[in-house]
């Protein structure tokens, strides 16, 4: 019998990931054509009507963009303090898209914007070590033993150990520029790590997230991600999730 698995149908609406959809189904929060469905393998047919918590849902066309965030903007849709957000730089037709992860106000670089809840979950779930690459400059010349500290892990908050792969690109007595790869998603992780060893981050730019980078983008600019790139990204995520 043909059809779309119920969890995939729910995820394709942008409501949540497939894993979360399974929870909704098991918890009895999903109805098809007025009847509660708790079977995870249920196949949705073309004319079926699916409700989650009594709200009718529809599959949506997934959209994917790369965005080069400039400094001075926060990564959120609304801000109670009235600060500028990345949505001030985007057309209204993109307001429904969500950023994958965050960059703080002073940081710049790559943000992936999408309405694909399943992809967002795959890129941010803590069980999957998705690489994010940053170009970072700090004040002062960092020492070898401090780099080893950062690589081995630093407790930046109670019970939270942060680590990073670091390659020094350039340094003198006044600054050190590095390429840093993170496999975690802690809030202000890089800034807190360097603060712990006594350095201030002067500039921080995300240059790559998984298989995507900033190629061809200027600050404040956004471009659609090509279908081939999305396929490569999802294949990459599938490979690393199997090793998680």
Catalytic residues: 104
**CA dist list (Å): 44 to 20, 49, 71, 72, 78:** 17, 8, 45, 45, 36
Helices and strands (DSSP H and E) totals, the chain: 6, 17
Distance (Å, rounded) from C-alpha 158 to C-alpha 133? 25
Angle, helix 18-26 to helix 117-124, in steps of 10 degrees: 110
Measured in degrees and rounded to the nearest 5, phi and psi for residue 202 equal -90, -45
Residues 27, 21 contacting (CB under 8 angstroms): no
């Amino acid at each position: 019998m043909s059809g779309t698995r119920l969890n995939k149908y729910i995820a394709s609406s942008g409501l949540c990931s497939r894993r979360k959809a399974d929870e909704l189904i098991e918890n009895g929060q999903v109805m098809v054509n007025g009847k509660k469905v708790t079977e995870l393998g249920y196949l949705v047919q073309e004319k079926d009507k699916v409700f989650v918590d009594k709200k009718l849902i529809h599959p949506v066309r997934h959209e994917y963009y790369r965005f080069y965030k400039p400094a001075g903007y926060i990564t959120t849709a609304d801000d109670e303090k009235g600060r500028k957000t990345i949505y001030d730089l985007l057309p209204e037709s993109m307001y429904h898209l969500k950023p994958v992860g965050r960059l703080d106000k002073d940081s710049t670089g790559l943000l992936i914007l999408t309405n694909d809840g399943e992809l967002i979950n795959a890129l941010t779930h803590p069980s999957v070590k998705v690489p994010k690459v940053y170009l970072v400059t700090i004040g002062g010349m960092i020492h070898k033993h401090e780099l080893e500290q950062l690589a081995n892990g630093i407790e930046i908050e109670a019970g939270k150990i942060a680590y990073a792969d670091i390659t020094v690109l350039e340094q003198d007595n006044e600054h050190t520029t590095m390429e840093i790869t993170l496999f975690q998603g802690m809030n202000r992780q890089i800034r807190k790590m360097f603060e712990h060893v006594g350095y201030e981050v002067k500039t921080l730019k995300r240059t790559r997230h998984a298989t995507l980078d900033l190629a061809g983008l200027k600050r404040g600019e956004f471009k659609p991600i090509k279908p081939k790139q999305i396929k490569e990204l999802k294949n990459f995520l599938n490979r690393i999730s199997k090793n998680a």
